[in-house]
Structure 1
Amino acid sequence: MSRKRNKKMAEKQMQKAVDSKPKEQMSGYTADAFMNTLARLGTGTPNLLESTEYPNTRLTQNYGLMNSLYRSHWIVRKIIDCIPEDMCKNWIDLKTQLEPGEVERFERLERRTRVKRDILKALKWCRLYGGSGAVMIIEGHEHILDEPLNYDEIMPGSFKGLIVADRWTGLYPSSETIEDVSSPEFGYPEYYEWNLENGSAMRVHHSRVLRFTGRELPLMERYAEMHWGASEVEMVFDDLKKRDNTSWNIAQLVFLANIRVLKMADLGEMLAMGDEQSQRELYTTLSQQNQLLNNMGLQVMDKDDDFHTIQYSFSGLSDIYQNFMLDISGAAEIPVTKLFGRSPAGLSATGESDMQNYYDMVGQKQASQLEPALDKLLPVMAMSEFGYIPDDLDYEFNPIAEQSEDELANIVDKKVNSIVNVFNAGILSQKVALKELKEMSVTTGMFTNITAEDIDKADDDFDTAGEDMPETGSSIVENYLRGIEQ
């Protein structure tokens, strides 16, 4: 009997232990963590670290704060403007078999319609507000903006430029989303409500809108932001507050760098027992003494009084301030040397690696933000200017970093030598060689005087490498092609 009783009790205890186990452990999952209750260390214990929380503030939606910071805070303004300006600084180089004259026509269209300026503006508002857009203005399409863009309906000279609007004051995405999985914009709004400054509103199809999105967000947060992204200000706001408060406190400490102390033997009694008139007279006396000290450096006091100064030491504040600057720089993805204009610190520090990382980051943003917009825009501009889209229409971004004269000369020398070698081998004709030199002028500034007439007069045969070139306006360049290796 005792064995059966013990067995039943053991079964009950086992069942009780199973029932008391958390569901995570019953499903084979264990939550491993450190905890020392007596020392108040680890998960779930009452200490300062465990009270830390990260609430979802969605600071991007505070439109007034974004405007205030951009207008009044130089660091925020530089964070917003710096990267877009570098993204657009050296712009693009067309890669197409178009004649040089046609390329110049295309570039004039860019300048005439201020495309680069408007895209730069859209990138800035995208970073500030989390999203922006630019509507392509095509003459004759005013009443069909809600229809998909058809290239065949773009008449010559009809492209008039871009109108930029941010997510709060111009472009509002519709509830319909693009359901075509083959579309690059799958899942994004199919239409936008475009509010103009005169108060009118239009429904615009997404194919007519160049869309720029801020920091990417998870799906549910993207829905909360109406398919836009997060503002760059949201990334740096907490670190910005720490830096600003530290800066203001350091400025306040400057006024306390030299504190003057006057010890009076009977001050306590005078304040405690004296009437209002006596206290007023004491205050007047101290004010006059302070004025004498400020004007003449003279302090007058009773023989039992004592006067001395206390000087404040600022050691260590510089390191704290610089660390906050580094935090802001890291959050903004901009080197301290560029964001704050500081020279590189440390022995043999040049800042080249920091700038190279920055240029790589800017290049990545060009690919993710500018390329989708340019892939939409360039065919429209080509149809407007030429009446057709070249089959090989392509582009690449020019290098972001400015080159020194020595670096530029080295690049030009290598490129010209390559052209000369291929020309001397009979693989290139004179005309093609001049075209290659003319194309170099876009990025190097060399050979800018080669004209379309010079190229037309050049020989187009591929077997004239050993013959004399005809005398043309570009004879200096032609002779250079002949004699650079001699």
Structure 2
Amino acid sequence: MGKKRKYNRDSKVKSKPSKRTAMDAFSNVLARLGAGTPNLLEGTDYPITRLTQNFQLMNSLYRSHWIVRKVIDCIPEDMCKNWFTIKSQLKPEALKRLDTLQRTARVQRDILEGLKWGRLYGGAGAVIIIDGHEDILDQKLDYDMIMPGCFKGMIVTDRWCGLTPGDEIIEDLGDPDFGLPEYYYWSTETGDNVRVHHSRVLRFIGRELPNWEKYAEQQWGASEVEVIFDELKKRDNTSWNIAQLVFLANLRVLKMADLGELLAIGDEEAKKDLYNTIQAQNWLMSNMGMYILNEKDGFETHQYSFSGLNDIYESFMLDVAGAAEIPVTRLFGRSPAGFNSTGESDMKNYYDLIEQKQESQLRPVLDKLVPIMFMSEFGAIPDDLDYEFNSVGSPSENELADIVEKKTNAIINVHNEGLTSQKTSLLELREMSKSTGMFTNITDEDIENADDDTDPTGDMPIENNLLGYNQTEDYINDEI
């Protein structure tokens, strides 16, 4: 008798589940509905066009098409409109010097230009110009090598006209630009091809792309035109068709007796005379003219109906605005539609979008640029250096009054507690005039004559203590 095999729960052979492709889409073959059936919807396809690479089309549309220009310009202009405010503990004199540096170096203008070209071409850049660094552009920017007054602004160029990413990729995980090109090749106006380290380049891109598509665009993004192009074609064709229909607003119909017999005879001379007569009468027709008819002839006019066309046209306008992420009221200059509609909710959503783009696109640029401006102007970077973007929307008069009241009361309360002097309070009030328009008549003489007794920080002369340090050597020798 053979041995009996013992089986238990664990000794059973476990079968592996077979791999199968899931086919769980809806389909009705008899009705020709759903996936894989021969119908018009299933004939739809979305091929990759990579329209961004057609830079000549981008140039043509930006120069000649007003909607494309507004799509490219609106968001960058709103992002830079109210700029930003330094939040460090700096004296008003230091802030004024920094504002002067920004104006003379055209910082706001150049960043706005970079944002526009990044949206139009999918990518653009600005090379930071520092006097004395002409021969070391391929080296990493060292703050200690930035001498006073050597920041000279930026030179903006787009991806097609002078700035090409190199093949080397940043591998330092601690670098904010990790995964991006380490070097760029900058074609100057003199024809030189200069290698520039990424720490000296400000990047501006359009729409973000997945990795494979980003590689296809040489680490740049997609143009905004590519996103709206299909919707733009629908809107433009609809507009042109409506314009052509205007010529059919009044249809004139001439009924002629025996016209069929005349054409059937085949007498070419009679046909020519008929044509010339009708053409001459058509040329001479006016509001004050006459039309000569035979006894059995008739003349009628028919009005063409345009009802419904405006709704169709506005639907395409909404599609363009949605693709561009800009409200219709801002993009097309239209008044808000709907009963009791003010457009405030649309603009609030739009301002939220602007604030999000400021954080994701503009802040990385300023994080690289602002410390350079501080080193050039003051020779040091404050430990508490920070900034915030000013509100995009303009407050109403009531909101502005509340803001002024709260800020003024705060300044007065701090002064009454003995924490600030009268001079400091006047400086704060005049600084507030930049954002509120109030207290603009406080003069330098008023500030100079104000009491300056209360000063817990122990002021040094302004020229040596603009950054708030107790000694000049403190911010020169401290590690930054």
Q: TM-score, normalised by structure 2?
A: 0.88
Structure with the larger helix share? 1
Q: 1:168 aligns with which of 160, 167, 191?
A: 160
What residue number does 2:184 align with?
192
What residue number does 1:142 align with?
134
Which amino acid is the alignment partner of residue 176 of structure 2? Answer: P
- Structure 2 distance, partners of 1:95, 1:455, is 24
List structure 1 runs of 4+ shifted beyond 6 angstroms.
none
Is 1:454 the equivalent of 2:447?
A: yes
Which amino acid is the alignment partner of residue 68 of structure 1? Answer: S
Which amino acid is the alignment partner of residue 121 of structure 2? Answer: Y
- Structure 1 distance, partners of 2:176, 2:329, is 37
What residue number does 2:256 align with?
264
User: Residue 32 of structure 2 contacts residue 38 of structure 2 at CA under 8 Å; is this kept in 1?
Assistant: yes
User: Residue 133 of structure 1 contacts residue 171 of structure 1 at CA under 8 Å; is this kept in 2?
Assistant: yes
- Structure 1 distance, partners of 2:445, 2:96, is 11
Q: What's the offset of the Cα at 1:68?
A: 0.5
What residue number does 2:478 align with?
none
Q: 1:440 aligns with which of 429, 432, 436?
A: 432
Q: What's the offset of the Cα at 1:395?
A: 1.2
- Structure 2 distance, partners of 1:66, 1:432, is 52
- Structure 1 distance, partners of 2:249, 2:408, is 64
- Structure 1 distance, partners of 2:364, 2:444, is 33
User: Residue 434 of structure 1 contacts residue 450 of structure 1 at CA under 8 Å; is this kept in 2?
Assistant: no
User: Residue 113 of structure 2 contacts residue 156 of structure 2 at CA under 8 Å; is this kept in 1?
Assistant: yes
What residue number does 1:249 align with?
241
SS at match of 1:226: coil
What residue number does 1:404 align with?
396
What residue number does 1:44 align with?
36
What residue number does 1:59 align with?
51
Q: 1:285 aligns with which of 258, 272, 277?
A: 277
What residue number does 1:99 align with?
91
What residue number does 1:109 align with?
101
- Counterparts of residues 294-333 of structure 1 (less than 5 Å): 294=286, 296-333=288-325
- Structure 1 distance, partners of 2:439, 2:341, is 37
User: Residue 126 of structure 2 contacts residue 156 of structure 2 at CA under 8 Å; is this kept in 1?
Assistant: yes
Q: What's the offset of the Cα at 1:418?
A: 2.3
Which amino acid is the alignment partner of residue 144 of structure 1? Answer: I
When structure 1 is superposed on structure 2, of 398-407 and 74-83 the one drifting more is: 398-407
SS at match of 1:296: coil
Is 1:395 the equivalent of 2:397?
A: no
Q: What's the offset of the Cα at 1:271?
A: 2.8
What residue number does 1:225 align with?
217
SS at match of 1:423: helix
SS at match of 2:323: helix
SS at match of 2:387: strand
What residue number does 1:477 align with?
none
Unmatched 5+ stretches in structure 2: 1-16, 457-480
What residue number does 2:473 align with?
none
User: Residue 415 of structure 2 contacts residue 421 of structure 2 at CA under 8 Å; is this kept in 1?
Assistant: yes
Which amino acid is the alignment partner of residue 221 of structure 2? Answer: G
Q: Which whole-Å deviations, capped at 9, do the CAs of 1:90-130 have from their partners, x for residues lacking one? A: 11111122221121111111111111111111000001000
Unmatched 5+ stretches in structure 1: 1-24, 464-486
Which amino acid is the alignment partner of residue 320 of structure 1? Answer: I
Q: 1:130 aligns with which of 114, 122, 134?
A: 122
- CA 1:368 to 1:450, structure 2 compared with 1: closer, same or farther past 3 Å? farther
Q: TM-score, normalised by structure 1?
A: 0.87
SS at match of 2:314: helix
User: Residue 329 of structure 1 contacts residue 339 of structure 1 at CA under 8 Å; is this kept in 2?
Assistant: yes
When structure 1 is superposed on structure 2, of 268-277 and 102-111 the one drifting more is: 268-277
User: When the two structures are aligned, how many residues end up with a matched partner?
Assistant: 439
Which amino acid is the alignment partner of residue 458 of structure 1? Answer: D
The Cα RMSD (Å) is 1.9
Q: What's the offset of the Cα at 1:277?
A: 2.4
User: Residue 429 of structure 1 contacts residue 460 of structure 1 at CA under 8 Å; is this kept in 2?
Assistant: yes
- Structure 2 distance, partners of 1:286, 1:360, is 63
